[in-house]
Amino acid sequence: SPSIALLSLFPLVRRTILFILRADWDEPMILEIPIGSDAQLDIWRRFRREVHLHDPAKPLKETWDSDLIQLLKEASNYLDGIDQIIFSPGRFGCLLPWEALAQKAEIEINIATIPNLKIWPLIDRSPKNISSALVIGNPNEGDDLIYAEEEARSIAKLLNTAPLIGPQAKKEIVLKCLPKVRVAHFATHAYFSLKDPLDSQIVLADGDLSLREIMDLKIHPKLLVLSACETGMNSSLGGDEMAGFAQGFILAGAEAVLVSLWSIDDLSTATLMESFYNQWINENANNADALYKAMTEIRHCKDWNHTYHWGAFTLIGNISKYKTS
């Protein structure tokens, strides 16, 4: 499509290269910045210190993002007429919040990321005659997920379904429902394993759902949301092959997955999610635009203007609307 651009980031030893490809170009535009492997590692360390480990009582000035914001601003000069970006961030960039960076660069274009371009043809865009939804909230009834439980109830109401709260969210029920739903939302705990990403788990009421099990599923959701900590993390299986919850659910059949890149705040996340679904369902925004608007709303709240509160979520997969004409 002439309104879609592909951006692909290649972190190299001595520099970082960004390829921009459009349907109306014969060859890609190549942008280069002098961010080599040492600088990449420094950005990651500052990002972790300033965002992942954010302390509201002692907030740090964000310094990790300046070079990347400048790169996106330079890229925006070549995006006239583009309204959607498919972004492949490369290994260094897979753990960075590109939707948040686009906001900071004041680029108002819908973005969906693809950790590995090889999985792009696998994304199922064929319509399914499915209208039901699955919403799970606080399955292990932890006191630290009170707002997640409220989030699940609120979103279930928007989706016109009954949520599975606490002990109702049994693994057997979830596995039975997942192949039959158009939208799935998990407001729960999740744990990512850097040592072996296939051992990563989503917590349910009576057991955990592992990434190994997820990859064996056959599901068809238009959108699957993992409103839990670090669900967007990924790690190498050897070589350049990366694995994480997003890749697992897309390989299982999901069209798009919304995941987080760090340990999120329960209250601000619940507010962001309600805003996202309201935009997606009631305002008929596409999922990327709905995320952008929800992030903007949280960003302008006085107590939540740090990236930690509004920038954690990233959309992986297909850009689409809730309602189809």
State pLDDT tens for residues 116-125. 777 776 676 6
Beta-bridge partners for 224? 184, 257
What is the rounded average pLDDT of the residues 229-240? 75
The whole model's pTM is what? Answer: 0.94
CA-to-CA distance for 83 and 133, rounded, in angstroms? 29
CA-to-CA distance for 272 and 126, rounded, in angstroms? 29
- Taking only the tens place, the pLDDT of each residue in 72-87 is 999 999 999 999 999 9
What is the rounded average pLDDT of the residues 95-105? 95
Extract the tokens encoding 224.
């699957």
Contact 311, 295 (CB under 8 A): yes
- Taking only the tens place, the pLDDT of each residue in 263-276 is 999 999 999 999 99
Strands 223-226 and 207-210: unpaired
For residue 271, the model assigns a pLDDT of: 96
CB atoms within 10 A of CB 102: 23
- Taking only the tens place, the pLDDT of each residue in 189-201 is 999 988 888 899 9
CA-to-CA distance for 212 and 237, rounded, in angstroms? 13
Extract the tokens encoding 94.
């897979």
